[in-house]
Structure 1
């Protein structure tokens, strides 16, 4: 009799444990609650890139990357009010993913072989091109014109290094913490040009406070395939994000986001890339 009582109690404890486990593993958690839990998701974006990822004065967020991240998160099971946007600067993107600070990153994150060794990439979801932003009266018209000139880019970005290595070895590099700092340096004359992706530069050039002051050279110095960074070997989340990106293109939401965020700057975007189609 005593043995039967113990067995019954153990069975009850086991049932409770199984029940609790089942309640704690719903589809949303599997989809990407990451380290935040509680039915929310942390997503890495940029805070200082108009037209792509910008934190507005009222605390809201705007830009193409924000729209893409919001769409993807919804497909993973999270409404907009369940998204916590986390600032992820270029130099810290791989670490933020590895630490579990964010579930995924949509932050003008160009796919390349070195980065693929550290993170998974979904996408690409936009094909941009490296370009130069200069003052409207600048005589810089081609890459070699940068020799002897001051060129600004952001710490951790490969853009300026690529220019110095392949195009203008005598360019004087100046690396700052954010693109807004580079644009301010260009406005003041502290640098002669800013280099990064044309999508980013177009967003800055379209701001009211800079209208008419800058121009894009249109050089298309490189192809930048924007992907969404995910923790290394997290194939399940990567596949879900790829499915979400495919749906975003097919239902027209991708083009609407492009028009809303880049249209005012007159930016000529490339067609939506196919998943896994990397343009070298």
Structure 2
């Protein structure tokens, strides 16, 4: 086991006391700050963000972020293992101990913070809408009575139907790759989620060609901020602080900006390059 990092011991002690008061079992060896090996939950169906490659590996912005964070925690090469998660499974997989970290376009919300601890955010995305190239839809309000893709476990469709009160017709999908397939085939009229995911889907559709109604486009009418966090076991304040330092260093040395350019500059997405305001490691 690697030694504990200087400057985090006091925070770890406070975490132990706080966790005990809340009835959460916390052991030093459970912190991601001290692991020699890391299992990281990632998406497999979000081109440009987190996607499975034909060779069986993973690629995308989140995958590169995960590798960089792991490296800055002292874990590299074969000691880093990726495991597939979905919007519906990632929370429980953290709680079960199936994964140590989740880097999977995982928006920080109050409800989720009650079940897992989040480092970050490492990026602030914005929920937008993806439609076919010939679609007249210009904003979320125009999704009324339209078929909207619904990915179970995601909060994106609820922001449209509940928070914005738009009476869209929900069409279930297994993930965002399925949403893209339904969009290009005309089964749904729109996909609404984070702009990084939508940009990756649009790029994938452009490469594939043959989309009904033309290559999908983002309407560029964002409706919310999506704070992408790195999820870990509830109460791991030491791990959270260590991961936050890794994220800060990535922005300070230009690594994060380079990854954003790598994955999203080619599709014309306007992305933010400043370090986000962290949520804190409660």
Q: Common fold, TM-score beyond 0.5?
A: yes
Deviation at 1:143, TM superposition (A): 1.6
Q: Is the 8 A contact 1:122 1:227 kept in 2?
A: yes
Residue 274 (structure 2) aligns with: 272
SS at 1:91's partner residue?
coil
Question: 2: CA distance between counterparts of 1:81 and 1:166?
Answer: 43
SS at 2:231's partner residue?
strand
Question: 1: CA distance between counterparts of 2:276 and 2:154?
Answer: 25
Residue 32 (structure 1) aligns with: 32
Q: Is the 8 A contact 1:120 1:232 kept in 2?
A: yes
2:142 pairs, out of 120, 142, 145, with: 145
Q: Is the 8 A contact 1:125 1:272 kept in 2?
A: no
Residue 188 (structure 2) aligns with: 191
> What do you get for the CA RMSD once the two structures are aligned?
2.0
TM-score (norm 2): 0.84
**Pair 1:97 & 2:99 matched:** no
1:170 pairs, out of 129, 152, 167, with: 167
Deviations 1:156-212 (A, max 9, x none): 111111101233532101121110001100111111001111110100101211586
Residue 81 (structure 2) aligns with: 84
Question: 2: CA distance between counterparts of 1:168 and 1:91?
Answer: 23
Residue 260 (structure 2) aligns with: 258
Q: Is the 8 A contact 1:153 1:160 kept in 2?
A: yes
**Pair 1:245 & 2:247 matched:** yes
SS at 2:40's partner residue?
strand
SS at 1:90's partner residue?
coil
Deviation at 1:272, TM superposition (A): 3.0
SS at 2:88's partner residue?
helix
Q: Is the 8 A contact 1:45 1:88 kept in 2?
A: yes
| Bigger radius of gyration among the two | 1
Q: Is the 8 A contact 1:145 1:168 kept in 2?
A: no
2:230 pairs, out of 228, 231, 236, with: 228
Deviations 1:77-136 (A, max 9, x none): 111332110111011111111111111111000011110000111001111111110001
Question: 2: CA distance between counterparts of 1:32 and 1:46?
Answer: 20
Q: Is the 8 A contact 2:183 2:189 kept in 1?
A: yes
